[in-house]
Structure 1
Amino acid sequence: MTVKTDPTELIYLAKTIYGEARGTNHESKVAVGWSIRNRVERKFRGSTYKEVVTAPWQYDAWLKNDPNYREVQHPSNKAAWNDSLDAAREVYYAASASNPIPGATHYYSPDAQAQLHKKDPKMYPAVPRFLTLDAIQVPNPSGVSEHDLKFYKNVR
């Protein structure tokens, strides 16, 4: 449950976690949150959570024509929303030293990407376009399956 004292920036983080990872376990939600915090700290596409997550073409859940957009604005899965909010609070208030994916600013789901590629290979490549030769995979935190998520740093 959102508390009136939760900062607006934390709510943007929680909504993005919910939109991107609501079907995953808590550890995965926290890792997604850290990738967003890494972007904020590096000023990648903005310097606030709101700027970073709503920057054009960064998080599909914030695209108004995306079917997920309405769900992010009005979460219907209360358990997943509460877990996403808890994960956001963990990340938002944590010391930088507790970051389980230092430097990682990007991620993707191999299983989801494979399904999208199978459905429409022209629209969805086998791996995301951000995976250039410069990208470096960061080891997944404990509890985060590599089938669900893979994290990368050094992405431009």
Structure 2
Amino acid sequence: MTAADTLARTIWGEARGEGKPGMEDVACCIMNRVAKPRWWGSTVEEVCLKPWQFSCWNANDPNLPKLKSVTVADPVFAQAVAIAEKAVAGTLPDRTQGATHYYDRRMPRVPPWAVGKTPCFTEGHHLFFNDIS
């Protein structure tokens, strides 16, 4: 897999129900991590595939087989590919204010890392954070 393909699959797996803006925001969050290498890695592949960071890649995620087999025949995945290519090329504007973390507000509880933190950006069901160390 290339960086753009890995990113596109992560975007599709994490935000395909959030529309183009939501998919772009997830792409930016990932690229912000790449730009700030830490324990999560320093490449698109390392960041996306870091265990337990993006649930779509978790071995127990029921959508993982779909994620691995989706093609551009799926119009939402085709859109994710276009977004990923822009992100990897550095031409995707970042509306997330440098966010490196996000979560879906529909989760049954707030993730421990987000407790007491204020989102810097909100899009659809996702809350984005740029103050997580």
**TM-score, normalising length: structure 2:** 0.87
- Aligned partner letter, 1:152: F
1:23 aligns with 2:1: no
- Aligned partner letter, 1:53: C
Structure 1 runs not aligned, ≥5 long: 1-6, 118-125
Q: Work out the CA distance in 1 between the residues paired with 2:91 and 2:77.
A: 23
Q: Work out the CA distance in 2 between the residues paired with 1:60 and 1:109.
A: 11
Q: 1:89 aligns with which of 81, 85, 98?
A: 85
Residue of structure 2 in register with 1:36 after alignment: 30
Q: Work out the CA distance in 2 between the residues paired with 1:63 and 1:149.
A: 19
Which of structures 1 and 2 has the bigger CA Rg? 1
Residue of structure 2 in register with 1:4 after alignment: none
- Aligned partner letter, 1:91: A
Q: Do the aligned partners of 2:97 and 2:121 also contact (CA within 8 Å) in 1? A: no
Q: Do the aligned partners of 1:30 and 1:90 also contact (CA within 8 Å) in 2? A: no
Q: Work out the CA distance in 2 between the residues paired with 1:84 and 1:95.
A: 15
Moved over 2 A (4+): none
SS in 2 for 1:102: coil
Q: Do the aligned partners of 1:38 and 1:102 also contact (CA within 8 Å) in 2? A: no
Residue of structure 2 in register with 1:152 after alignment: 129
Tell me the matched-pair count. 131
Q: Work out the CA distance in 2 between the residues paired with 1:33 and 1:65.
A: 23
**RMSD of equivalent CA atoms:** 1.9
Residue of structure 2 in register with 1:127 after alignment: 110
Q: Work out the CA distance in 1 between the residues paired with 2:130 and 2:118.
A: 5
Q: Work out the CA distance in 2 between the residues paired with 1:25 and 1:95.
A: 19
Q: Work out the CA distance in 2 between the residues paired with 1:106 and 1:36.
A: 8
Q: Work out the CA distance in 1 between the residues paired with 2:110 and 2:118.
A: 14
Q: Work out the CA distance in 2 between the residues paired with 1:95 and 1:87.
A: 10
Residue of structure 2 in register with 1:138 after alignment: 120
Q: 1:51 aligns with which of 37, 43, 46?
A: 46
Structure 2 runs not aligned, ≥5 long: none
Displacement of 1:20 after TM fit? Answer: 0.3
Residue of structure 2 in register with 1:122 after alignment: none
SS in 1 for 2:23: helix
**Superposed CA offset, 1:93-148 (max 9, x none):** 2348x3212320111121x31xxx2xxxxxxxx21222033x442134xxx33xx1
